[in-house]
Structure 1
Amino acid sequence: MELRLTQFRPRTGPYEHRVVQPRQPLRHTSLREPAPIGMLMGDHDGLSRLAGLFSFAACSRHTIVHVPLRGCVPPDEGCGELVDLVLAHSEAGLRPSQWPELRRGLGHGTPLTVRTDEARTERHARAWLERPYDRGLLRHTTHARTYFLIGGREVLAQAATAFAYAAGWGPRHKRVVKGQSAFMAGLQNELEPTRGGGHPPEVLICFKPYPPYAHFKRPGR
Structure 2
Amino acid sequence: MRLRLREFRPRTGPHEHRVVQPRQSLRHTSLRAPEPIGILLGDHDGLNRLAGLFSFAACSRYTIVHVPLRDGVPPDEGVGERVDLVLAHHTLGLRSSKWPELRRRLVDGTPLTVRTDEARTVRDAGSWTERGQRADFRDGLRHATHARTFFLFGSRDVFAATATYFAHAAGRGPHQKGVAKGHSALMTALPSLSQPPGGGHPLEVLICFKPYPPYAHFERPGH
Q: TM-score, normalised by structure 1?
A: 0.97
Q: CA deviation at 1:33?
A: 1.6
| CA displacement 1:182-207 (0-9 Å, x = unmatched) | 000111x4211112222111110000
| CA displacement 1:121-158 (0-9 Å, x = unmatched) | 11111111111232411110100000000010011111
CA contact (8 A) 1:128 1:135 kept: no
Q: Counterpart amino acid of 2:184?
A: S
Which of 204, 207, 212 is the aligned partner of 1:205? Answer: 207
**What SS is found at the alignment partner of 2:131?**
coil
**What SS is found at the alignment partner of 1:130?**
helix
**What SS is found at the alignment partner of 1:80?**
coil
**What SS is found at the alignment partner of 1:174?**
coil
Q: CA deviation at 1:103?
A: 0.2
In 1, Cα distance between equivalents of 2:192 and 2:54: 13
Q: CA deviation at 1:162?
A: 0.6
CA contact (8 A) 1:138 1:155 kept: yes
Q: Which runs of 5+ in 1 are unaligned?
A: none
- Identical pairs, percent: 72
In 1, Cα distance between equivalents of 2:188 and 2:140: 17
What is the match of residue 8 of structure 2?
8
Q: Counterpart amino acid of 1:209?
A: P
What is the match of residue 73 of structure 2?
73
**What SS is found at the alignment partner of 2:178?**
helix
In 1, Cα distance between equivalents of 2:121 and 2:199: 32
**What SS is found at the alignment partner of 2:108?**
coil
Counting only pairs closer than 5 Å after superposition, residues 16-165 of structure 1 correspond to structure 2 as 16-132=16-132, 133=134, 134-165=137-168
**What SS is found at the alignment partner of 1:219?**
coil
Count of aligned positions = 220
In 2, Cα distance between equivalents of 1:167 and 1:194: 30
**What SS is found at the alignment partner of 2:222?**
coil
Q: TM-score, normalised by structure 2?
A: 0.97
Which of 191, 194, 199 is the aligned partner of 1:192? Answer: 194
Q: Which runs of 5+ in 2 are unaligned?
A: none
Q: Counterpart amino acid of 1:117?
A: D
In 1, Cα distance between equivalents of 2:94 and 2:60: 13
What is the match of residue 216 of structure 1?
218
In 2, Cα distance between equivalents of 1:36 and 1:11: 34
The CA RMSD over aligned residues, in Å, is 0.9
In 2, Cα distance between equivalents of 1:212 and 1:145: 29
